[in-house]
Amino acid sequence: MVILSSPSGVGKTTLTKKIQQKYQSFKISVSYTTRPPRSNEVDGVDYKFVKKEQFEQLIKENQFYEYAKIFENYYGTLKKNVDETLQKNDIIFDIDWQGTKQLSKFKNLNLIKIFLITENKEELKKRLMTRGQNTSEELEKRFNSFDEDIKYWNDYDYILINKNLDVCFKQIENLILMNKSKVVNFPHKAE
Ligand code: 5GP
């Protein structure tokens, strides 16, 4: 199971999709969220979009492995989805540091935790602006969360700088292949 976290705008979603395209065994964990869909997002593919009341009901029923409130909306990983996917596939999680902390508590999960950043804050701002999918208020919020997000670097196994998409993809690929071979060769050491 691979966790990819990053401040918004670093390219995580693109990289996640690239991994899935190349490695059919990897499925992207589709999170539940109360955030409204962006124009290019499809319900059930990018996220499962639900109302706040529905999300809070699922919290009450203890249906999430992890969830967090980010930019005033809930985001969470449903236990049922992960358990079903894991029967046959590897999983990539596109979640934040709060979710990573919660998933790390499940010691039986074989997690590779990767944190992605841009080379500097200016580059991040540029990418957020060219993405053009957020209002200026949302953009500001996402940009300002950078300083908060990077405080949690220590919770990750690897930190990668996404300066060039292809290079970064190759680095992620190598990490996955390296960790997979460890699990295959030394099953008794897999936690
Ligand atoms: P966005 O609104 O830009 O799609 O996502 C905002 C943030 O929410 C991103 O950092 C993304 O990784 C995080 N996120 C998406 N799904 C989940 C989830 O299920 N759990 C947690 N903890 N974070 C999530």
Contact 27, 19 (CB under 8 A): no
Does domain 2-180 bear CATH number 3.40.50.300?
A: yes
89 lines ligand 1 (CB under 6 A): no
What is the pLDDT tens value at each position of the chain, 191 positions in all?
Answer: 999 998 877 888 889 989 989 988 899 999 999 999 988 899 999 999 999 999 999 999 999 999 999 989 999 999 999 999 989 999 999 999 999 999 999 887 789 999 999 888 888 888 888 876 677 887 788 778 888 888 898 999 999 999 999 999 999 999 998 887 765 554 443 33
85-98 in b/e form (b: 16+ CB < 10 A) is beeeebbbbbbbbb
Rg (CA), the chain: 16
Contact 106, 65 (CB under 8 A): yes
95 lines ligand 1 (CB under 6 A): yes
75 lines ligand 1 (CB under 6 A): yes
Rounded distance between C-alpha atoms, residue 191 and residue 104, angstroms: 11
8 lines ligand 1 (CB under 6 A): yes
Domain regions of the chain by residue span: 2-180
For strands 73-78 and 64-70, give the pairing.
antiparallel
Rounded distance between C-alpha atoms, residue 122 and residue 22, angstroms: 31
Residue reference for tokens 């964990």: 29
Comparing CA positions, the residue from 50, 95, 102, 106 lying closest to residue 58 is: 50
pTM of the model: 0.87
Report which ligand 1 atom has the smallest distance to the Cα of 6. Answer: 10
